[in-house]
Amino acid sequence: MGQTMTEKILSRAAGRRVRPGEIAEVAVDLVMTNDITAPLSIREFKKTGLERVFDPSKVVFVPDHFVPAKDIKAAEQAKVMREFALEQGAVYFEVGRAGIEHVVLPENGLTLPGQVIIGADSHTCTYGAFNAFATGMGSTDIAAAMALGTTWVRVPPTIKLVYHGTLPEGIGGKDLILYTIGQIGVDGALYSVMEFTGPVIDALDMDSRIAMANMAIEAGAKTGIFACDDRTREWLARVADRPYEPVDSDPDAEYAKVIEFDVSNLKPLVALPHLPSNVYPADEVGDLPIDQVVIGSCTNGRISDLREVAKILKGRQVHPNVRCIIIPGSQEVAKQATKEGLADIFLEAGAVFSTSTCGPCLGGYMGILAKGERCVSTTNRNFRGRMGHREAEIILAGPQVAAASAVLGRVASPAALN
């Protein structure tokens, strides 16, 4: 019996052939943590009595959740991480030269095919877009991995998702993953790998693949993964100068389930409160007024997302009753958006163009919702209290729907602007 790409990666990292359900100790290629989770990991690491992490070139620290520091506590959290990272000579990305971890790491060629990547953040699964096994873990597990260079994992089964048809114009990865979660539910891939395949996936650009892998966790998955193809290699040729070993699933690989979709007639989608699976076409929601729009995050804060938003906002104005907050995913994205004139378009339209940060996505700052407020957001979660008050509402959408909604002051498909 053959193996899936995930089973091959974990077998290589374990030094033996593994099967779903087994617990395996695997070597890690990258360990990542951020300003929320790093201080706890550092504290637990110091309890080991070790003075050095296993390999500073494979341990990455990214301040992104509460930076630039929103208060004294946030500043102290970042300070603990900064001092430890510099002391260890680890990979460290400072404010003003970096951004959101799941944008920054791929941008810098750190996420490569065939790797085992763990991070103290649930959306570490983002890196599966690059044919890696990538998953989130708790801070204590991250501490152990920083010390040993290994971790344990129960080998997950794989669900093969096959997407047929041709995507309509304006439909991207965010719509595809919302559609998928709407179909299978928030526990539809519980502790499984979502392996994204099919002709639609083959034609998908890397940014859309990243958005899909990013939200695999919202279906309960351990991770999501894509094959390495010419699009992957083209991306990596621009950012990485290290060799890598991609993996493919064998033709006779065993899957827990195979699910097929025809997405030829897919429309721009939204996920209404309070689950990512509560999915409807944006143009069928009705007259649902909004107070805020957030565009950015590790899901949709890349330059391609901002270009789509600029196309819609150019020559238009954000609705007077709406706060539109646009957050580039990294400093590089912000620089490119400025160079292309996108930032001017956003400002002329009446939007805020922010420093790169996770900010409002986790209810951190720069866009907290009050009781009764409603927000359309390109982020990845819309649970109660995620972005502020428990009685606020978050509606998940792709960048085009978010921009159109900002203009019209209600949940809207871009077609409603015509």
Residue 386 to residue 392: CA distance in whole angstroms: 9
The answer to whether 214 and 125 have CB atoms below 8 angstroms apart is: yes
Helix 206-214 / helix 230-239 crossing angle, nearest 10 deg:
100
Helix 331-339 / helix 342-349 crossing angle, nearest 10 deg:
80
What's at 389, amino acid-wise?
A: H
Task: Give mean pLDDT, residues 40-58.
Answer: 95
Burial 111-149, CB ≥16 within 10 A → b, else e: bbbbbbbbbbbebbbbbbbbbbbbbbbebebbbbbbbeb
pLDDT at residue number 163:
98
Task: Give mean pLDDT, residues 245-261.
Answer: 96
pLDDT in tens, 334-343: 999 999 999 9
pLDDT in tens, 77-94: 999 999 999 999 999 999
The answer to whether 326 and 295 have CB atoms below 8 angstroms apart is: yes
**Per-residue confidence at 42, pLDDT binned at 50, 70, 90?**
very high
| Phi and psi, residue 322, nearest 5° | -120, 135
Sequence-distant (6+) residues with CB within 8 A of 88 are: 52, 53, 56, 59
Radius of gyration of the chain (CA): 20
pLDDT at residue number 382:
95
Give CB contacts under 8 A, 24+ apart, made by 385-393: 386/361, 386/362, 387/294, 387/360, 387/361, 387/362, 387/363, 388/360, 388/363, 393/272, 393/273, 393/274
Query: Chain centroid to CA 144: how far?
Result: 24
Q: What percent of the chain has pLDDT over 70?
A: 100
**Per-residue confidence at 418, pLDDT binned at 50, 70, 90?**
confident
Task: Give mean pLDDT, residues 112-127.
Answer: 97
Q: What percent of the chain has pLDDT over 90?
A: 96
**Per-residue confidence at 278, pLDDT binned at 50, 70, 90?**
very high
Tokens representing residue 103 in the block: 């944008």
pLDDT in tens, 93-109: 999 989 999 999 999 99
The answer to whether 188 and 181 have CB atoms below 8 angstroms apart is: yes
- Residue 394 confidence (pLDDT) above 90: yes
Tokens representing residue 302 in the block: 């890349």
Query: Chain centroid to CA 382: how far?
Result: 14
Q: 352 forms bridges with which residues in the sheet?
A: 325
Give the position of tokens 């998702």. Answer: 161
Fold of 5-260: Aconitase; domain 3 (3.30.499)
Burial 217-243, CB ≥16 within 10 A → b, else e: bbbbbbbbbbbbeebbeebbeeebeee
Strand-strand pairing, 269-271 and 279-281:
antiparallel
Neighbouring C-alpha atoms within 13 Å toward the C-beta of 387: 32
The answer to whether 126 and 358 have CB atoms below 8 angstroms apart is: no
> Do 270-417 and 5-260 have the same topology in CATH?
yes
pLDDT at residue number 1:
81
| Phi and psi, residue 69, nearest 5° | -50, 130
Q: Where are the beta strands (DSSP E) in 9-81?
A: 23-27, 30-34, 59-62
CATH second-level architecture of 270-417? 2-Layer Sandwich (3.30)
SS3 category, 337: helix
Give the position of tokens 């400025």. Answer: 338
Residue 232 to residue 301: CA distance in whole angstroms: 19
pLDDT in tens, 222-237: 999 999 999 999 999 9
Task: Give mean pLDDT, residues 293-316.
Answer: 97
Give residue limits of the domains in the chain.
5-260, 270-417
